[in-house]
Amino acid sequence: MSFLVLVALVCLFWFCLLPLRWQTRRLAGPEPALRKAVAAVRRRKWEPAARLLAGAGEDWERRALYSGVLGRVAARSGDGWLRAWEAARPDDPDAALVRARFRIAYAWKLRGRMRANVTPRARFARFHQALWDAHDDLARAARLNPADPTPHIAGIWRAMGLSYRNRDMHLLWREITERAPHHFDAHLSALQYWCAKWHGSKQIARDFAEKAAGNAPAGSLLAVLPLIAWFENHDMEPSAAAFGSPRAHAMVEAALSDLAAAPDDHPGLPYVRHLVGYFLVRQGRYREAVAQFRHVDGHLNALPWRYSPRPFDALHYRVLRTRAARRSLLEKRHC
């Protein structure tokens, strides 16, 4: 092996590009059954997706995860398989839910990832029209399964895009909390609405997060909400001093306690592990960070990586993950 090749390999390892594991942006963590269903719908086979959602039953957390991913797949890759499902089972509430999620995902695909001040007016017009058109599908999904909060949760993203008044958002939120008062994905979505970048403020977002976390039972994972609000309320990358503040440490400890209390199969676990792992690295708690990253390696659909433009999201994750692993090994050697 030449000297230059050796140097290149050392640099790759040292600066986080190894292991060169594929990082999927579709999920926050491992979901084997969901991945199989996604692979099937890409082959235009809807039956595995139907079985997956039917098996979720009244597990509203898992129902939200499954329908959201399937809706986004249809928005990106085509909804032919979904139309076949609807034709075979015209009044299937699961198919209706995926159709509603598809409508919302498709609208946001039209919106794109550009900042509002550089997004063309024509694109905004298509985005808003698609959100208006989603109303009937959301209403139908809610009508076919009245107990399910998921269509109303999807409606939060319609509320954000169409700039619902706060009063209307409160009415929508009541529909959700009457069905699932501590729903993790619902609270993540609502917190986005209340952030300053959308239709709230830094204080409103913080108050919403703290109230929800304070009222939630252990293991609901809602203890992470103040951490998310803190992260969202920083317009720029927070300083090392901010990450090391007593308040930031207290929020991380609360999230860690909630992680420990949560059921092993809670769909929100991977999402929380990503953010907590990130904070642990920034606080110099490398062994604890490695313990979190070990559960989610290979997946990127979570804060903070999703705020990095592609392909830098994967690079951002690898930088932090490898720093944690390397520093953890060095700490062990010095023990």
Domain holding 87, by residue range, is 23-180
Identify the CATH number of the domain in which residue 170 sits. Answer: 1.25.40
Identify the pLDDT of residue 7: 41
Per-residue pLDDT of the chain (335 residues; tens, 9 = 90+): 555 445 444 444 544 444 555 677 778 888 999 999 999 999 999 999 999 999 999 999 999 999 999 999 999 999 999 999 999 999 999 999 999 999 999 999 998 776 766 777 888 899 999 999 999 999 999 999 999 999 999 999 999 999 999 999 999 999 999 999 999 999 999 999 999 999 999 999 999 999 999 999 999 999 999 999 999 998 667 888 999 999 999 999 999 999 999 999 999 999 999 999 999 999 999 999 999 999 998 888 888 988 877 777 788 888 889 888 888 777 665 55
Identify the pLDDT of residue 21: 56
150 and 238 housed in the same domain: no
Residue 10 domain flag: no
Identify the pLDDT of residue 301: 86
Residue 16 domain flag: no
Torsion 111-114-116-119 (CA) sign: negative
230 and 259 housed in the same domain: yes
Identify the pLDDT of residue 4: 43
Identify the pLDDT of residue 126: 94
Q: Point out the domain boundary residue: 180, 209, 237.
A: 180
- Write the DSSP symbol of residue 43: T
Torsion 14-16-21-22 (CA) sign: negative
Work out how many domains the chain is built from and give that number: 2
164 and 246 housed in the same domain: no
Identify the pLDDT of residue 8: 42
280 and 172 housed in the same domain: no
Q: What one-character-per-residue DSSP string does 177-206 give? A: HHH-TT-HHHHHHHHHHHSTTTTS-HHHHH
146 and 206 housed in the same domain: no
Q: 180 Cβ partners below 8 Å, 6+ apart?
A: 60, 149, 186
Residue 17 domain flag: no
